[in-house]
Amino acid sequence: MKNPSGILLTGETDERLNGRIEKLAEINAENMLDQSKIGIPGELSIQTRNQLLKTLGTRFHEHKERHPGLKWDPIATRLENKPQALCIAYQMEEDEGEPDIWSWDGKTDTYEIFDSSPEVPSGRTDLVFDREAESFYYQGTNIWLPPRGNVLDIATWKRLGLLTVSDHKLMNRRGDYDRDSLCWMASPLEMVVEGRAYGYGKYGTMVLSTKSHTANSGFRGKLIF
């Protein structure tokens, strides 16, 4: 499935959840992260683009265990020809997600970029899963400890997909991630409707209440291009 900008959202995410993500276009501006860090720029300057490509290239070569068998040059060329994808990767970098390539799908000829920081990106933390869960904290006496926002709205605004359970397993086969944070992941719509979603943390993959949040609960973005 693609969003209106033409960038693929998530690979294995349930089609119905993708539809739900795409429909969450309205943002609750009164309870979101710093608005200056929300959304993606329309176009990067030449200097910013070149610096980003240099940063991504250096990270690619320093972490070959993440993408065995892949070469940087065709990836760089692809990014240069897809300015919207490069803008989204820039936003991932701004969120301190340390984006990097993790795979290439030969059937669709697409690459996958994941946030690759050791823990959930610091620019996307203290989040519940969806808007329904967020609204819970503004009812009655719950307002004293609200989250900073919710994953689905922010992922929509930033044009990011969510990692699947298998994506996160891939990351932890090739490295060690999210030992001190909670990473929300794509979940079937029927689970979300019931107020539950997949998360990954210190004890591995868990099914949690969508209302759960801590200072370190957030999500890793996924970009397919």
For 122-139, what is each residue's pLDDT tens digit?
Answer: 999 999 999 999 998 887
**pLDDT > 70 in the chain, percent:** 79
Tokens of 33: 């992260």
Q: What pLDDT band is residue 141 in, cutting at 50, 70 and 90? A: low
Average pLDDT over residues 183-188: 96
Backbone angles phi, psi at 204, to 5 degrees: 90, -155
Task: Please state, in angstroms and as integers, the Cα–Cα distance from residue 107 to each residue in 1, 18, 103, following that order.
Answer: 15, 21, 12
Average pLDDT over residues 192-215: 93
- At 90 the pLDDT is 96
Its sign, for the CA torsion 17, 178, 90, 81, is negative
* DSSP label of 203: T
Q: Which residue has the higher pLDDT, 21 or 171?
A: 171
- At 137 the pLDDT is 86
Q: What is the mean pLDDT of the chain?
A: 84
- At 202 the pLDDT is 85
Tokens of 95: 């969120």
For 77-95, what is each residue's pLDDT tens digit?
Answer: 999 999 999 999 999 999 9
In angstroms, the first-to-last Cα distance of the chain is 12
For 20-68, what is each residue's pLDDT tens digit?
Answer: 444 433 333 333 333 334 455 568 999 999 999 999 999 999 999 999 9
Residue of 37, 35, 72 whose CA lies nearest to 56: 72
> Which amino acid is it at 194?
E
- At 53 the pLDDT is 98
- At 86 the pLDDT is 95
52-89 burial: b if 16+ Cβ within 10 Å, else e? bbeebeebbeebeebbeeeebeebeeebeebebbbbbb
Would the pTM count as exceeding 0.85?
Answer: no
Helices and strands in the chain, H and E counts = 8, 10
- At 114 the pLDDT is 98
Q: What pLDDT band is residue 203 in, cutting at 50, 70 and 90? A: confident
- At 140 the pLDDT is 65
Average pLDDT over residues 7-25: 41
- At 40 the pLDDT is 57
